[in-house]
Amino acid sequence: MLVINQQQVKKIIPLGKINIVVGCVENAFGDYGKGLVQMPSKQYLYFNEYNGDLRVMPSYSSVLKMAGTKIVTVHPDNPKIGLATVMASIILNDPKNGLPVAMMDGSYITAMRTGSAGAVAAKYLARVDASTLGVVGTGVQAVYQIAATVKVRKIKDIVVFDVNPKAAQAFVKTMAKVGIKVRIGTIQEACGQDIVATTTPVRKPIVKLEWIKPGTHINAIGADAEGKEELEPEILKSAKVVIDDWAQASHSGEINVPLKNGVITKENIYAGLGDIVAGKKKGRTDADEITVFDSTGLGLQDLYTAVAVLKLAKRQKIGKEIAIN
């Protein structure tokens, strides 16, 4: 089994080459839409006394001929003790015999594939001439949403907002180090761009319909657990809503609270992104329509990215072989 740590994964696919992951994620959605994969719903363990949870995400692709399982933990208070909020590991198994062929850090892959999912959604749902990007929340995921989105659209202006001004200022410096210029604006300004990405952990809506202009595409990324929501429900009622997976989105995505409260129903959901990528349904069909992608994160995104990392690691002779059987 090849073991690949986080620094090695970063060396194999650095941020500047996130387009590799965008391609992996697009293929994952396409194969999902074609029914060429198996992916049970994400399973949760809740550590309520520690304000955290553990998620298990298995999947199998008959196209890649590989199975994979990601174990990811989310602890929002971790930064206070010097640990990352999200930590993950991925194990790949050969479906022919069940042999574990690789174990690798999944934290960086999680960040990369989540940003890439937003980019894939923007590729199919944002206007072709979209040139501005607004980001609400300047945590780690905001970096990857921006880095991936600029690979699929010619973005000329990026506006970010965070409730913590110091965090926003630090974010501007972080992005400058990777060669991407962003500027700080109000939340209304961030939400008034051609493409909007929301990456916050809030449980009460902070993005209002009145701030969203016709033709906007929104990537709703932050809602990844039951009870979370970032957008006013009126936005979902006014938009073409696309999800990654019904079971996950209805349980823990942006649509979960409005569904529970009866504000929207399953009929308000236009399609799964996999169906659009696979060509079963059209993406954007009108320049003025508002589109929303509800991203909860699929095990398939991790699997397809991890397989690419494994292939590149072998080619570059990176990682350590160990025997566990």
Q: What is the pLDDT along the chain (325 residues), one digit of tens a residue?
A: 999 999 999 999 999 999 999 999 999 999 999 999 999 988 999 999 999 999 999 999 999 999 999 999 999 899 999 998 889 999 999 999 999 999 999 999 999 999 999 999 999 999 999 999 999 999 999 999 999 999 999 999 999 999 999 999 999 999 999 999 999 999 999 999 999 999 999 999 999 999 999 999 999 999 988 999 999 999 999 999 999 999 999 999 999 999 999 999 999 999 999 999 999 999 999 999 999 999 999 999 999 999 999 999 999 999 999 998 7
**119 located within any domain:** no
Rounded Cα gap, residues 298 and 114, in angstroms: 9
3-state secondary structure 92-133: EECCCCCCEEEEEECHHHHHHHHHHHHHHHHHHHCCCCCCEE
Catalytic residues: 70
As given in the structure block, the two tokens for residue 230 are: 């970032």
- For residues 278 and 169, membership in a common domain is answered with yes
Is residue 121 one of the residues assigned to a domain? no
If one counts the domains in the chain, the total is 2
pLDDT of residue 225: 82
Are 40 and 95 in the same domain? Answer: yes
Is 33 part of any domain?
A: yes
Is 306 part of any domain?
Answer: yes
CATH of residue 97: 3.30.1780.10
Q: Quick one: 58 and 144 in the same domain? A: no
Residue 239 pLDDT: 98
Q: How far is CA 281 from CA 81, 127, 285, in A?
A: 46, 17, 10
Domain of 132, in residue numbers: 126-297
Question: 135 with 169, same domain?
Answer: yes
In a domain, 288, yes or no: yes
- Residues 284 and 145 occupy one common structural domain: yes
Is there a single domain that holds both residue 196 and residue 308?
no
* Integer angstrom CA distances of residue 291 from 124, 139, 155, 167: 10, 23, 18, 28
307 and 190: one domain? no
Mark whether 186 and 244 lie in a shared domain.
yes
Same domain, 156 and 219: yes
Q: Are 71 and 133 part of one and the same domain? A: no
Give yes or no: residues 190 and 286 share one domain: yes
pLDDT at 86: 86
Q: Long-range pairs for 283-286 at CB < 8 Å and ≥24 separation?
A: 283/124, 283/125, 283/242, 284/124, 284/125, 284/126, 284/127, 284/217, 284/240
Residue 114 is assigned to a structural domain of this protein: no
Is 120 within the bounds of a domain? no
- Same domain for 145 and 76: no
Q: How far apart are CA 204 and CA 313, in angstroms?
A: 42
Give the domain CATH number at 167.
3.40.50.720
Report if residue 116 sits inside a domain.
Answer: no
Which pLDDT score, from 0 to 100, does residue 61 have?
Answer: 98
